[in-house]
Amino acid sequence: MKAKTLAAACLAGAAAAVLAGCTHAPTTPSNKDDGAFAYFLDRKATWTENKVDKLPPLPSEASLLSFDVSQNTPLAFSVDAKSIDVGSDGVVRYTIVVTSPAGARNVNYEGIRCDTYEWRQYAGLNATHDGWDRSVATDWSRIENGDLNAYQAALYQDYFCASKMAAAPAKMIIENIRLRRTAASMEH
């Protein structure tokens, strides 16, 4: 009987020791990497933008693809099919041509960063209209929605980006714009 009682006491003691180890106060989750293990999604990604050393040729009428921005804007919007490029950094770069009803044009070389919903300008048409002017380059800024002339939002949502990534390779983006296959039209 003593052996059974001793075994039961040892078993009870071992169980108590195990349970005592489980009764520690819960720790608050954090994003801090406090050991060898860290969740992949908790790590800060270090993003590096590809250098834009070479600018595309100025657009020609034959390579312009029009797209809709708003039914209420008097401006016409086109991208140069030959300039569309999906970079390994996740930026879709393109030449935009905005034309007024009187025929005045703004021509810019820009990029849209799909993962952050941002855009930037790399260059604009120079004063003599025969080359690029890099002095008008901007930093990354948030894409504006709801503006009559919010062409970056239209490009992001309709053609360039899906799930915070480039929607397709450049060839497919060009084909979608050419055929006016927007993201919304392909959902059905």
Tens of pLDDT, residue by residue, the chain (188 residues)? 555 555 555 555 555 554 455 444 444 554 454 455 555 555 556 889 999 999 999 999 999 999 999 888 999 999 999 999 999 999 999 999 999 999 999 999 999 999 999 999 999 999 999 999 999 999 999 999 877 789 999 999 999 999 999 999 999 999 999 999 887 766 64
What is the distance between the alpha carbons of residues 75 and 119, in angstroms, rounded to a whole number? 20
The continuous run of DSSP H or E covering 4 comes out as: helix 2-22
**Nearest of 145, 123, 125 to residue 134 by alpha carbon:** 123
* Stated pTM of the model: 0.74
What is the distance between the alpha carbons of residues 95 and 37, in angstroms, rounded to a whole number? 44
Q: Give the helix, strand, coil percentages of the chain, each rounded to 5.
A: 30, 25, 50
What domains can you pick out in the chain, each with its CATH number?
61-178 (2.40.128)
Under 8 Å between Cβ of 159 and 67: yes
